[in-house]
């Protein structure tokens, strides 16, 4: 079975980067991958008038995964001055709410930090991808060319599903450690926010914590400023 990979090469040097990424994937072996390229990006806008054609969206929707290059060119902008950002538009259309960013130290000399061996740095950063200030995209206010306002939107359902994702991921990683696939350490989930200042960030942790958090997995809340208590179950 071959996995269908929709390839969006992107702009600038991104097509060169994607070409090398495909070489790595082909060389690494593993599952069979079928790559098909689709137009998308600022150059696509210059050629067709649309940075994200509907056919590209549908191809990404049907694919098993998307290999996406960096998009946007500084001199190709919408009338309001913002750059083309089809990668963000695609994120909204496919509701890709979880930005998953694994951090792993493969070799000690890869890091300036001392006394860290390979595998001793191993964690994942999750970012909610379709709420917050992203939700204000295309909806901000510009007043007399001197005041600009973007609203930050945080919902209970959006916060709950990214929290669920985090705990499911932590549970899977704990199982991998039990199987000897990762270095042994305590499994936990940490929430980093600015809840000491913003009401939108103060509300979710208190409201979603008890109903959805597995009692066997600690939850640590860390605020970016100001002393706040740690919550764990």
Q: Is 131 found in the same domain as 232?
A: yes
pLDDT higher than 50, residue 224: no
Question: In this structure, are 40 and 82 located in the same domain?
Answer: yes
Q: Please give the full DSSP string across 145-205, using - where no structure is assigned.
A: TTEEE---B--HHHHHHHHHHHHHHHHHHHHHHHTTSS------EEEEE-TTT-HHHHHHH
pLDDT of residue 40: 96
Q: In terms of domains, do 80 and 187 share one?
A: no
**50 shares its domain with 37:** yes
pLDDT digits (tens, 9 = 90+) for 169-194: 999 988 888 888 777 777 788 888 88
Please indicate, yes or no, whether residues 134 and 55 belong to a single structural domain of this protein.
no
Q: What is the rounded average pLDDT for all residues in the chain?
A: 84
Of 96, 128, 149, the one marking the end of a domain is 96
Same domain, 67 and 118: no
pLDDT digits (tens, 9 = 90+) for 5-57: 999 999 999 999 999 999 999 999 889 999 999 999 999 999 999 999 999 99
Q: Are 151 and 136 in contact (CB under 8 A)?
A: yes
The alpha carbon of residue 139 and the mean position of all alpha carbons in its chain are separated, in whole angstroms, by 22
Last residue of a domain, one of 43, 73, 96: 96
Residue 166 and residue 190 share a domain: yes
Q: Against a cut of 0.85, is the pTM above it?
A: no
Tell me the CATH number at 128. 3.40.718.10
Looking at residue 166, its pLDDT comes to 92
pLDDT at 219 over 60: no
Q: How confident is the model at residue 212 (pLDDT cuts 50, 70, 90)?
A: very low
- Does residue 117 share a domain with residue 214? yes
Same domain, 58 and 11: yes
Domain that holds residue 55: 1-96
Query: Are residues 204 and 119 located together in one domain of the fold?
Result: yes
Sign of CA dihedral 201, 219, 212, 96: positive
Range name among 68-72, 113-117, 202-206 with the lowest pLDDT average: 202-206
Which of 74, 96, 118 lies at the terminal end of a domain, its last residue? 96
Residues 53 and 143 in one domain: no
- Both 119 and 197 in a single domain? yes
């Amino acid at each position: 079975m071959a996995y269908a990979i929709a390839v969006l090469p992107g702009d600038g040097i991104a097509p060169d980067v994607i070409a090398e990424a495909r070489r790595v994937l082909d060389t690494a072996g593993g599952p069979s991958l079928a790559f098909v390229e689709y137009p998308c990006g600022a150059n696509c806008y210059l050629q067709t008038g649309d940075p994200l054609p509907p056919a590209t969206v549908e191809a990404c929707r049907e694919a098993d995964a998307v290999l996406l290059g960096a998009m946007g060119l500084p001199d190709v902008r919408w009338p309001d001055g913002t750059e083309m950002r089809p990668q963000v538009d695609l994120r909204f259309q496919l509701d890709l709410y979880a930005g998953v960013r694994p951090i792993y130290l493969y070799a000690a000399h890869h890091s300036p930090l001392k006394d860290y061996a390979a595998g001793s740095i191993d964690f994942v950063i999750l970012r909610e991808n379709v709420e917050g200030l992203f939700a204000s995209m295309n909806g901000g206010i510009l007043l007399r060319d001197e005041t600009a306002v973007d609203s930050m939107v945080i919902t209970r359902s959006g916060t709950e599903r990214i929290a669920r994702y985090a705990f499911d991921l932590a549970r899977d990683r704990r199982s991998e450690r039990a199987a000897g696939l990762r270095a042994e350490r305590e499994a936990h989930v940490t929430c980093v926010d600015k809840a000491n200042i913003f009401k939108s960030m103060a509300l979710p942790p208190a409201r979603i914590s008890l109903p959805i958090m597995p009692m066997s997995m600690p939850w640590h809340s860390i605020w970016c400023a100001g002393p706040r208590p740690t919550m764990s179950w």
